[in-house]
Structure 1
Amino acid sequence: MSTPSEYQRVAEDFLAAYESGEPIAPPRETIPGLDLNGAYRIQQLQEQAFEKAGRRVVGRKIGLTTPAMQKQLGVDSPDFGFFTEDMVFENGAEIDTSRFISPKVEPELAFELGSDLPADATMKQVIDAVASTRVAVEIIDSRVRDWDIELVDTVADNASCGAVILGTPFTEVDLRALPETRLIMQVDGQPQDTGTGKDVMGHPLEPLRWLAGVLGEQGVPLKAGDVILTGSFCGAAPVEAGCRIIVDSTDMGLLTASFV
């Protein structure tokens, strides 16, 4: 049976990896029998350490929202992590790749909440709570060596979140039509992949409703002002210094960023 000290030790290993850029062994090997609750506990310890250091948590990211990714990791539900204010970049940003270990990019939608969400939120309540919608990119990164991850490893590693890039906020988006929204991603002018909102659990707001329930069970409500990324529309693409990415949306314009 895992002990609090084992969770703390792995959390400290992850925190050290952020600083050193040196990835660590998969937590499932460090703590044999590590379960999902333990993995989230390791993640929470890192979140607490960030907040103690003055880094403000401003949002959540949801991952594993497509059948293909769930099949790859052998799961049937999403996972989630957090991001802090200093992990957020704006449209057109130049991003220093040295802050990451092995970054990849995923096109998504981000939603800012204008009101709190109850744990048992209906889809109508979710729609009513959304204040703005943005095209977004999550920069996923693994502090686990060689991306050698199973579900408990990525959860412990803050759901492999490295940073997020947020596009222009739109307040008049038809949220019920989001399943038809298309995102097309290019890296250095080369098309990478494309997807529509219905690829994200049928509707990009469905993961947000799921997250409200999961966090509500933990006594951590989603509140007004939170920004939530609800999962990639398509596969991730690796990036390195010198790369420029463009994500084109059918109805919310372009998001661009350069890696240096």
Structure 2
Amino acid sequence: MTLSTTGLRTAADRLIAAAAGPLQCDPVRDILSGTDIAAAYAVQRLLTDDSLARGRTIVGHKIGLTSPAVQHQLGVDQPDSGVLFADMRVANGAVAETNTLLQPKIEAEIAFILAEDLDGDLSESRIRAAAGIAMPAIEIVDSRVRDWSISIVDTIADNGSSALFVLGSNAVAADDLDFAARTMQLTQDGIAVSTGRGSDCLGDPLNALRWLARRAIENGSPLRAGHIVLSGALGPMVPVRPGSAYAALIDQIGSVEVSFAPVIGGR
């Protein structure tokens, strides 16, 4: 299907208004075809253009829906991607405000800080060289779509259901680490709530990076050196509980922490 410019704008404006509220909105799949991935990314680009016009700065990209457990949780069957902006980053160990979030969930990931552009050769050796350094990361995902009732086009259009991210203080070289073998544990107030391993992320987080690099080239905006890339969840996501503290430990890479402020004003 070829969606009109008006249709794309209508879908984008619905999501932009919901984010500004913040408030939950109806899915945009009633505007977009339920399988029109290209239209969904076109809506995401409109959201990105709106953010840039408001002075936000792109610092990287996220890959979502890489874990079979997360795909099962949300009822989708393929990865997606979104844009990371500077104001989405929360300092390691800081307290994240909750009043700007709607229905947040949290997941542990491996982040890469790219050492080279990825705009041509996407061989295994090239991907590993470009991966640069790896860091433990937490992503806080959030959907503007009411009750997380999303299809793949809803979450793509909604910038990959993104909200906030946290990078740990440790960084390791990506050149010789076996990412598929890494294990992850995410705790909430000291109690394990999610576990997984690198192989749960499209078989290997480097596979996820290659997937994103290919998608970025197809979209006309290749990945560049210095970009942060969140490679996708290593285990099931869990709902955020305001007032709680979360910590993720990824073996041989490090740990990362974030807490959430209690809800103020009853929202």
Q: What is the aligned partner in structure 2 of residue 18 from structure 1?
A: 19
Residue 55 to residue 74, structure 1, CA distance change in 2 (3 Å)? closer
Distance 1:202 1:119 in 2: 22
- Aligned residue for 1:241, secondary structure, equals coil
Moved over 6 A (4+): none
Distance 1:5 1:175 in 2: 49
Q: What is the aligned partner in structure 2 of residue 146 from structure 1?
A: 147
Distance 2:106 2:129 in 1: 29
Q: Aligned pair 1:205/2:202, yes or no?
A: no
- Aligned residue for 2:222, secondary structure, equals coil
Distance 2:19 2:176 in 1: 36
CA deviations 1:126-156 (Å, max 9, x no partner) are 1111221110011000000110001111111
Residue 68 to residue 100, structure 1, CA distance change in 2 (3 Å)? same
- Aligned residue for 2:173, secondary structure, equals coil
Deviation at 1:190, TM superposition (A): 1.8
Q: Tell me, which stretches of 5 or more residues in structure 1 are unaligned?
A: none
Residue 188 to residue 258, structure 1, CA distance change in 2 (3 Å)? same
Q: CA RMSD in A?
A: 1.6
Q: What is the aligned partner in structure 2 of residue 48 from structure 1?
A: 49
Q: Which amino acid in 2 is paired with 1:73? A: G
Q: Which amino acid in 2 is paired with 1:156? A: A
Identity score, percent = 36
Distance 1:51 1:185 in 2: 33
Q: Aligned pair 1:133/2:152, yes or no?
A: no
Residue 219 to residue 65, structure 1, CA distance change in 2 (3 Å)? same
Q: Answer whether contact 2:80 2:160 (CA < 8 A) is retained.
A: yes
Q: Aligned pair 1:73/2:92, yes or no?
A: no
Q: Which amino acid in 2 is paired with 1:39? A: A
CA deviations 1:67-118 (Å, max 9, x no partner) are 344455342x311011100001121011001111000100000000111012
Deviation at 1:34, TM superposition (A): 6.2
Q: Answer whether contact 1:120 1:213 (CA < 8 A) is retained.
A: no
Q: What is the aligned partner in structure 1 of residue 58 from structure 2?
A: 57
Q: Answer whether contact 1:88 1:164 (CA < 8 A) is retained.
A: yes
Q: What is the aligned partner in structure 1 of residue 258 from structure 2?
A: 257
Q: Answer whether contact 2:118 2:224 (CA < 8 A) is retained.
A: yes
Q: What is the aligned partner in structure 2 of residue 39 from structure 1?
A: 40
Distance 2:46 2:191 in 1: 39
Residue 225 to residue 174, structure 1, CA distance change in 2 (3 Å)? closer
Residue 4 to residue 194, structure 1, CA distance change in 2 (3 Å)? same
Q: What is the aligned partner in structure 2 of residue 2 from structure 1?
A: 3
Deviation at 1:175, TM superposition (A): 4.2
Distance 1:74 1:130 in 2: 27
Q: What is the aligned partner in structure 1 of residue 248 from structure 2?
A: 247
Q: Tell me, which stretches of 5 or more residues in structure 2 are unaligned?
A: 262-267
- Aligned residue for 1:230, secondary structure, equals strand
CA deviations 1:183-224 (Å, max 9, x no partner) are 100112221111111111111111111111111122111001
Q: What is the aligned partner in structure 2 of residue 89 from structure 1?
A: 90
Q: What is the aligned partner in structure 2 of residue 156 from structure 1?
A: 157
Distance 2:34 2:71 in 1: 20
Distance 1:19 1:214 in 2: 28
- Aligned residue for 1:27, secondary structure, equals coil
Q: Which amino acid in 2 is paired with 1:162? A: A
Deviation at 1:7, TM superposition (A): 1.0
